Each structure stands twice: as C-alpha cells, then as structure tokens.
Amino acid sequence: MDNALTDLIKISKTVGSDLTLVQGGGGNTSVKTADGKFMYIKASGTALKDMSADKGWRKIDIAQTLSILKDSGLAAMEVSKREIEIVNRLSFCCVDDLKNAGRPSVEAHLHAILDKYVIHLHPHIIGAYVNSKTGRKIIEKLFSDRKKPILWIDYTDPGFTLAKEVSKMVSEYTSRYGFGPEVLFLEKHGIFISANNAAAAQKLVGSVIKTCGSELKSVIKPAKVKPIAGEIIDNARLSVRRAFFNALGKYVSVSHFLDAEISAFMARKDAKELLSFAGLTPDEMVYANGPAVWLENCDTAKIESKLKSQIAKGAKASAAFLVKGLGLFVAGKISEHATIRDIVKMSLFVRSCAAKMGGINALNSREQNFINNWEAEAFRKALVGGGASGGELKDRIAIVTGAGSGLGRSLAIGLAKAGVNVGLADIDTVSAKQTAEMIAKELPGIATLVLPCNVTNADSVNDAFAELLNKWGGLDILINAAGVAPAFSLTELPVDKWRFALEVNLTGYFLMAQKAAQIMIAQGIGGNIINLSSKSGIDPSKNNTPYNATKAGELHMSRGWAMELGSHNIRVNSICPGNVFEGSKIWNPEYIKVCARKYGIKPEEVIPYYVSKTMLNREIKGQDIADAAVFLASDRAKMITAQTLVVDAGQAMVR
C-alpha cells in the first residue's frame, strides 16, 4: 500500500475517534503522493474513524482537480447546477479502482491547494472563535507570535466558492511570506491544518486546540444531573412524536439525552436567548435543521405550532428540542440521533463561549438558504443516516413477538422491507439477533432492536416496551406472533401442555396488547395491533385441542379489543395463515411425525399432503403472511378493524 494512503488512514482514525474534533461524520483529511501528482482524500459521507485500506477514501489526479478552479465558466453557472457539475468532475478526477467507493470530498480542490498533509476539522473549541463576533481579533492575538501567521478566511459559501477564495488568499499569503499557511481558520465553519509531514500535522492540531482551549476553561462549568422519573421522560417523548405527526404527518423516533453539559446549559438564565440565534455552522443546519428549540415544558400543542410555523416559512422542521429541566429530545431517523446530539451539544458549547466573546455570529438568511439547498450536504446527511428507507410504512415503529424464527421472523423482515423500524421480541435472543443480522444485511437503512421477552411474564413484557420507548420513543404496530402448538389427542393431552399453550398463545397476546394499547393511547396518533391466529382458529384440526382453542380465542380477543380501542384510532385485526413450513419451529421433525401418524402417511409426504389440501395447490411462504400484515398496518386498510384475513391458499372458508 502506498505510504501516502497508510498515513491518511492512520491520521484519519486518530482525529476521527475524538468527538471533540469531529461531529456528524464531518471533517476531511488528505495526503499527497511523494511525486506530487496524486492525492488520497477522504470520501464524502464517510466518518474519518471508519476509513480503512479498502474503503473511505479516493485517489485523485491533482492537476485535473486544480483545473476545475481555473474554469471561468463554472463561476457563471447557476449555483445548484454548478455544484452538481463539480461533483461529477471531481469523480472524473479519481484514478483508483475502488468499487462503490463514493465521491471524493467536495472540498478536494481546496485540499489540492495546500501542503502535502491536510487535516480539516470542526472542533467545538475552534467553533467558539469562528462563531464569535470578536473571534478573529482574539485568534490573531493568541497566535501573534507564530513564525508562520495564521490565515483567517471570512465566511464564504462552501464548495467551489470557498475553494476559489482560499486559492486566492493562499496565493496572496505565499507571495507575501514566501511560504504557504499552516493554519487556516474558516469563519462559521472550522479549521484547516496543513504541513509537509504527518507528525507535524497531527502535532499542530493538538497545539492549536490547546492554545484555543486555554482561553475557554472557565466558560463552561458542568452541572449535576438530577434524576428524572422514567414515566416523565416517556410522556415527553410521546408528546414530541405526537406533535410531529399532527403537524407534518410524519412518524419519527424520539431519543432523550441528559448529561452534565446539557444540564449546565439548561441552568443558564440566557439559555432561551442563546438558542434564539440562527444556526452556526453547515453541520447544525444540515443535521439538526437549525438550533435546538427551547421549551419551558414539553407541550404537544406548542411543539406542533412551532413546527407548523417553520414549514409555513419555508424552513425545515427542527430536529432537536431542549426542554427546561428535562434535557435534550432528538426527533427523526434513528440512525441520525447520535449525530444530531453531538452537533447540538457542540452548538450549546459554542453559543455559551461566543456569548462571552463579543456575541454570537450566526449564519444569516442567505447563508442558511445556500446550505439548505446544497446538494453535497444533503448527500452527506443521507449517507450518515444509513441511506434512504422507503416503503409504505416508512419510519414507523413496531414490535414483533417470536421474531427469532418462523412466521415471527418473516413478519419482522416483511415489515422492515416496508420501511418499519422493528423491535424483535423473543425469549430466544440468539435467534432474534440472527433476524437482526438478516435485516441489517439486506436493509442497512432500517433499525432493529433485540428485545429479550417472555410474553407470559408481565414484568418481562413491561421491560421490553420500556426498552423500546427508551431507544425509539414510540410505537405504531404490534404483531403478536409468538406461539406454540402441542399436538396431542384429547385423551393423551398432558394438562401442563394445555396450560402452557394458554399462557403463550392467550396470556402472551393479552399482556403484549395491553401494554401496546396503553402506549398508543398515550401517544395519541393511533396504531395497529395484529394477532397472528391460524386457519385452525376457524376450522379446527384433529389432535390439536390447545392450538384450536387458543387460536379461536385470539380471534375473539381481537374483536373485543377493536371495540374498545376504535375511539383511539387503534385498529385491531387478525391474520389466519394456512400451513407455513418455511423456518417454522412448530413444524419440527417431531411434529411432522405426529402429523404423519395422524394421516397414515410417511413424514416426507406430510408437507406435499398439506399443500394438496389448498385450492391453489401452492405452498404458502412467510412473505405471503408478511404482505398481509403490511397491508393491515397500512393506510390502505385504514377502515378495516375487527376483521380476520385468511391467508391459506384457499383451504378454509370464513363463514
């Protein structure tokens, strides 16, 4: 491997692992080859810490990259078209043979102007200065004794315009001093460090951060975190989620964060005032959609009103809310929550510091509009968020019981394909984790959560839902799929097997539905409960007393629950599958032997025999049942409740 690439990976992992230096997967690094003809640079949307020998970087031709800046025709182009054109040209500058490697950093032409090693970061300590009205004055004083003076770049729109401006200023700097700049401070943005060797570049990063940090030690004093009852936080999460649904018709997940730094900011008398200033950096605008909204209390109506007002003004809906005394609530796609938290916490720090240094210097309206419409940042956000997740149930939250195998697994995967974030509840956590791995491999944009759960135990059920609320903040769909089928004739049925079936198939369904209904009612945006019954719940089967009874009972429970919950717009329906053999724990070898004896056939003839009993003469697959569940949970079925959908290839007739 080229020494330049080795250095790039090492530097990137070092600085990328320090969250005080980077947020949101941001920041860039580059290293030029020994002959000066090529440059290895971080790929857009890749977190620095995740770079490796086979991903996260591109190798580009420096001469071709610099030629982009010399094209006078680009400056005359309409901005949105120009930025896309530049992205395409930068891709053409790549000379590596990586597959699915992504774009080179949109700031590649800026890196090409500087020295051999370039590190571009957004440290929160630097943010305190570049977002302060007196930041430039203080920085120039702090570094006045440097042999190589710092270079301050006034705010310039990122991308092509910034690269052109930096190119001009670096040229003027070099003409004046006879050497290029090592440290560049970019107003409302971050810092560039440039050196001719790796050690010098990394040392310089530490030195600059230390110098700047020495002036800020007394600004932030972490406050003690006061414990808050879980019920209060859960209700606040549900309020935020309800506000988003009412205002935007969107299903969002909501996370809660509270630590010493957030507590310290909330304790400030000027907290609301500091958050009244607009977004400070591109990161804050792109990921958090502006500064966190200050709330005296978590009132749904106030949040809803705020969101509607933002949309009416053509702005993006805020993703972060700082509620006095409660902490930070982040709403949106699950995979983005941690990134938004980090960016908001940086903003709280920067605002606190900047307030003591002449005041906050935020992005103005024109600057905000450019960032909001910049395709490069939208692309980066999508990559950090794990890519788009489509489907008609996009971003909804579900729990599926028995998700570790059989129909439970098929239902979980089917919901994930429809865009649902799925809680995988199962007493067998190893199998549930396998389901999670299957979903992650096929659908990387979907979140899963393994929930250890014994559906017959109320405490275990409560713990599973508590974990779901703690991680995702709401619930839209419950599918009761965990079930057992002890096959005995009436005269040979052990009473413990009978009671076991009642516990799993009836008590389990009841406990899960009871807790789900409580959450859905409190959430106030409706929901869906789907009970997985069986063909045997309609037409009983021989030697199957516990299964016949419990599956019929599930149907009647569904109807009763639908009557109770309809006024809350919670729909309850049942699915009666026919015989689904694929991946089933029920259709195990022993059960198949029982069926073979029942019909006087060989075990290997059992599955063909059952298939032959259907009108369509086709084997039912797990995806067929999942398709039915997706339909019932969707808005296409918004007027369907208390009903039973039979998916059995035409074996039983609903009478």
CA 69/CA 64 separation, integer angstroms: 10
CB within 8 A of 264, min separation 6: which ones?
Answer: 220, 221, 222, 223
DSSP-derived 3-state class of residue 487: coil
The alpha helices in 119-197, defined as continuous H runs, are 124-130, 135-142, 160-177
CA 422/CA 435 separation, integer angstroms: 10
In this structure, the chain runs to a length of 655
Instruction: Supply the Cα-derived Rg of the chain in whole angstroms.
Output: 30
- What the block records as the tokens of 570 is 């919670």
CB within 8 A of 579, min separation 6: which ones?
Answer: 535, 587, 610, 611, 620, 648
Tell me the angle at which helices 375-384 and 79-92 cross, rounded to the nearest 10 degrees: 60
- What the block records as the tokens of 217 is 């030690």
Listing DSSP states for 570-591 in one string gives EEEEEEEE----TT-SSS-HHH
CB within 8 A of 300, min separation 6: which ones?
Answer: 239, 240, 242, 243, 246, 524
Residue 509 falls in the annotated catalytic set: no
- What the block records as the tokens of 146 is 């440097």
CA 125/CA 353 separation, integer angstroms: 9
Alpha-carbon dihedral 243, 240, 303, 355, rounded to 10 degrees: -150
Amino acid in the structure at residue 598: K
- What the block records as the tokens of 251 is 């299903």
Distance set, CA 598 to CA 161, 491, 542 (Å): 79, 14, 8
Given 129, 173, 547, 610, the catalytic residue: 547
- What the block records as the tokens of 180 is 């290029």
Please give the order of strands across the beta sheet that includes 644-647: 448-452, 421-426, 397-401, 477-480, 527-532, 570-577, 644-647
DSSP-derived 3-state class of residue 154: coil
Contact 523, 550 (CB under 8 A): no
Strand partners, 207: none
Amino acid in the structure at residue 519: I
Amino acid in the structure at residue 123: P
Beta strands in 140-246 (DSSP E): 151-153, 183-186, 190-195
Q: Number of C-alpha atoms within 13 angstroms, CB side, residue 601?
A: 12
CA 163/CA 196 separation, integer angstroms: 20
- Would you give the DSSP letter of residue 604? G
Active site residues per annotation = 547
